Amino acid sequence: MDSIKFGTDGWRGIIAADFTFERLALVAHVAAQILAETYGGTTGSRTIIVGYDRRFMAENFAMKTAEVVTAAGFDVLLSDSYAPTPAFSWAAKHQNALGALVITASHNPGIYLGLKVKGAFGGSVPPEITQKIEARLSQAITPAETPGSLSNFDPWPSYCEELRTKVELSQIKEFISQGKLTVFADVMHGAAATGLSRILDMPIREINSSRDPLFGGGAPEPLARYLSQLFQDIKTHQRQENARLAIGLVFDGDCDRIAAVDGQGNFLSSQILIPILIEHLASRRQFTGEIVKTLSGSDLIPRIADLYGLSVYETPIGYKYIADRMLSSQVLLGGEESGGIGYGNHIPERDALLSALYLLEAIAQSGLDLSELYQSLQDRTSYTSAYDRIDLHLAGMEVRSRLIEKLETQPLTEIDSQQVIECQTIDGYKFRLADNSWLLIRFSGTEPVLRLYCEAATPEQARQTLNWAKNWAESA
């Protein structure tokens, strides 16, 4: 069991090789114990939520988890259907449970499954909790003298009702029903399926709704390369109906990450959506609070925060760091470049459906396309940029070690003919360059993968800098 390691949000592995019933049983048993030790005193509870997404045999693995946890002496509320991971985080808080164990591999390809551990507060447990789980995996499972109870629940109604309270729902519905906005949703065969239509109580144009454990041969990740059908559907709709406003909302496999497509069929990552959301919540909603961004977040984010007198707090990459800040400070919004966005008026958890509702509200209240909203922010801040990222697979962990040693002993002073003016090392190596662009070099902690991030004045410049970094890594 030494190979079971928790990453940025949970434990994941290849089904039948790494992720098996036997290994899950041990992890679930230990996780339940740690949740009780951590949150039992404050909640007075013995209940644990168990949920799952739409992956291969996810409901079977969830049932195994429920059986193991009840045998350990805990009461289990087992979901009677798939649902978004944030719905189970909400259930943990709403039901005053010790936490939630969610069977999901998020945005990974279909051969993977995994387990996310959520705390009683309604978000991912901090690293020290997963470290405790890892440390105890060598111990044998000892069933409790008195097993707990097992019952089923529907996670959707309470979750949907909570999200309805966050927006002016009637305004959004009226805007859609009057034909002023057409909403597409690519749920990527994942747990977001039916979500928006449930909340809005009206039909929308949902695509990739079927359960497909192979995710069409790709991965349920909100990236442009997986969205060909959505691009085509929006462009066809605009040609045929000449509609003024349309939006495509994209949800990852367990519905905690989001991206979007504007009315002209342009892909919008969270680097674009986060500034739009800050502007909407601060100006139209009059919300206040701190903005939390990760190291890889766009430089436009602090510029938008400045417009509204909002402070900015920067964290390492990983939503767990944002969630930690949300538990200790008044936060308006916390977001990461990979699509996870959460809100201080909700649980400390990224929630793609809530982000979708706020984007719909921003369009309904402004009457503008998402790209028009973004362009206005660029104009107001006099800041235009392009962001890109590549993941480079290395030959092995020894190459990773060699590159880290090179960065430490031979610091980069110039990148692609641009002078390095600053280097941050809170998570990898982030180099700020003389032309106001930046390059982040960051290594996976568990596999030989080098992640390269860049924001520059133009897409061409960002790509050129990334290619420089790729060549630098491959020549080391």
- Structure confidence by residue, pLDDT tens digits, 67-98: 999 999 999 999 999 999 999 999 999 999 99
- Residue 230 φ then ψ, to 5°: -65, -45
| pLDDT at residue 140 tops 90 | no
CATH of the domain at 432: 3.30.310.50
Are 352 and 425 members of one domain?
no
Domain housing 269: 166-381
pLDDT tier, 240 (very low <50, low <70, confident <90, very high otherwise):
confident
* pLDDT score of 395: 87
What is the number of structural domains in the chain? 3
- Any idea what DSSP says for residue 141? P
Residue type, 265: G
Q: With 80 as the cut, is the pLDDT of residue 470 above it?
A: yes
375 pLDDT more than 90: yes
- Identify the CATH number of the domain in which residue 171 sits: 3.40.120.10
pLDDT, residue 243, reads 66
* 338 and 419 belong to one structural domain: no
Provide the 3-class DSSP secondary structure of residue 449: strand
Q: 289 and 260 in contact (C-beta within 8 Å)?
A: no
Q: Is the pLDDT of residue 1 over 70?
A: no
Give the whole-angstrom CA distance, residue 67 versus residue 397: 38
| DSSP category for residue 216 | G
Task: Give me the pLDDT at residue 117, please.
Answer: 97
2, part of any domain: no
Instruction: Say whether pLDDT at 366 is over 70.
Output: yes
Q: Show which of 130, 154, 178 is a domain's final residue.
A: 154
Same domain, 390 and 352: no
402 and 467 together in one domain: yes
**Residue 466 confidence (pLDDT) above 90:** yes
Same domain for 217 and 177: yes
Report d(CA 81, CA 156) in Å as an integer: 9
Interval 252-278 mean pLDDT: 97
Q: What is the pLDDT of residue 241?
A: 74
- Asked whether residue 159 is domain-assigned, the answer is no
What does the pLDDT read at residue 197? 97
Report the pLDDT averaged over residues 409-433: 95
Cα distances from 46 to residues 34, 43, 100, 118, in angstroms, run 12, 9, 12, 15
* Rounded CA separation 437/459 (Å): 12
Q: Are residues 50 and 141 in the same domain?
A: yes
Q: pTM for this structure?
A: 0.94
Average model confidence (pLDDT) for the chain?
95
Q: Is residue 313 part of a domain?
A: yes
Please write the tens of the pLDDT for every residue from 152-196. 999 999 999 999 999 999 999 999 999 999 999 999 999 999 999
Whether residue 89 lies inside any domain: the answer is: yes
Mean pLDDT of 268-291: 97
Which of 138-142, 164-168, 359-363, 383-387 is predicted least confidently? Answer: 138-142
25-49: pLDDT as tens digits: 999 999 999 999 999 999 999 999 9
Q: Are residues 375 and 429 in the same domain?
A: no
Of 347, 362, 381, at which residue does a domain stop? 381
Query: What band does 372 get if pLDDT is binned at 50, 70 and 90?
Result: very high
Q: Are residues 178 and 241 in the same domain?
A: yes
At 3 the pLDDT is 82
Q: Is residue 3 part of a domain?
A: no
Is pLDDT above 90 for 448?
no
Domain co-membership, 219 together with 356? yes
Q: What is the pLDDT of residue 476?
A: 73
Which one, of 90, 91, 85, 78, lies nearest residue 152 by Cα? 78
Q: Are residues 304 and 243 in the same domain?
A: yes
**What is the band of 2 on the pLDDT scale with cuts at 50, 70, 90?**
low
pLDDT mean over 419-426: 96
Tell me how far apart the alpha carbons of residues 220 and 213 are, in angstroms, rounded to a whole number: 10
Task: Give yes or no for residue 394 having a pLDDT over 60.
Answer: yes
Considering the domain architecture, whether residues 172 and 31 belong to the same structural domain is answered as no
Cβ atoms 97, 47 nearer than 8 A: yes
What's the token pair of residue 258?
């989001």
CA distance 345 to 348: 9
pLDDT at 447: 73
Mean pLDDT confidence for 417-446: 93
Q: What is the mean pLDDT of residues 462-467?
A: 97
Is 6 a member of any domain?
no
Average pLDDT value for residue range 398-421: 93
Query: Does 87 lie in the same domain as 22?
Result: yes
Percent of the chain clearing pLDDT 70 (strictly above): 99
Residue 95 within a domain: yes
Task: Express the helix, strand and coil content of the chain in percent, nearest 5 each.
Answer: 40, 25, 35
Is residue 79 within 8 A of residue 280, CB to CB? The reply is no
**Final residue of a domain: which of 361, 381, 401?**
381
Is residue 160 a part of any domain in this protein? no
State residue 256's pLDDT score.
Answer: 96
